[in-house]
Amino acid sequence: MSEDTQARADETPADDADTNVRRAREASDKRKRGLALFLRDVVVIVLAAIVISFLIKTFLIRSFYIPSESMEDTLLVNDRIIVNQLVPELTPVSRGDVVVFTDPGGWLDPVFEPPKDPVAGFFEWLGSIVGLTAPDSNDHLIKRVIGLPGDRIVCCDDFGRMSVNGVPLDESAYVKLPDGVTRVSRDDFDVTVPEGSLWVMGDNRWNSRDSRYNRDKPGNGFVPQGNVVGRAILISWSIDRWTWLDNFPLVFDGVENAEPGGTPEPDPQDEPENAPDDAETEGAEG
């Protein structure tokens, strides 16, 4: 009998049991370490995704929803949009851009927010960090930029058109009007955009409380450029509504090089009239 055979023969059942227990423990410890490493990696990935999403949301893009009709048919109620926050910080605002901005003062009616369940509030907050929810949409408005600083905007001519710096605009590509109506604004106006401000209007031109109907509010209806959160670039939801948002540069062709003309004298009797009855009280749509 060889020495190896003799050694195995000398092993007792107790030795076999101890060896099996030790191996089982080692296998169990190995599985636990593997699970711990897996969970650690998952946590790191989730935290990294949250941080990256937070940074993207803070500095690059944000999501907003549309709760009102003032930008129809470009944007419909319950559309969700992606906003490029590099505008106007790094990229200047252009005429025709659809921009989201904070209320300049008094444009939005107060909205009562009922108390939220703490659990639901936490998940809403978590979703807002990664851009899946937009709980602050009610504090913002969204309109189309018509006039930049120095622009003179007049409405309406004999054909119902609005002009910027004397150049008549054909806005049929995006303006929604009531059936049989050709005027792009219910009321006439003649304004010059002051430095650092914008003149904005909704595409649903007869159903939008925009610059025209906020001339009795702080800023006289003009939106300070510092209030602009960013430019809406994409309809992201619903899926069948997915599309890039155009600023229609051809509509404003020739405006940049045109002479604004004399600044109109303010008329103390020129108060906004016939403001739309359905006050826009909520959301990124204002």
Cβ contacts of 246 within 8 Å, gap of 6 or more: 96, 173, 174
- Please, are residues 132 and 123 in contact by the beta-carbon 8 Å criterion? no
Amino acid making up residue 60: L
Best CA proximity match to 272, nearest among 141, 107, 145: 107
Best CA proximity match to 79, nearest among 246, 283, 279: 283
Length of the chain equals 286
Amino acid making up residue 231: R
Best CA proximity match to 191, nearest among 220, 168, 160: 220
- In whole angstroms, give the CA distance from residue 281 to residue 200: 17
Please identify every residue annotated as catalytic.
Answer: 70, 143
With the C-alpha atoms ordered 134, 138, 144, 145, is the resulting torsion angle positive or negative? negative
Residue 112, classed as helix, strand or coil, is: coil
Q: Given the structure tokens 């049989």, which residue do they identify?
A: 180
What phi and psi values does residue 262 have, to the nearest 5 degrees? -65, 145
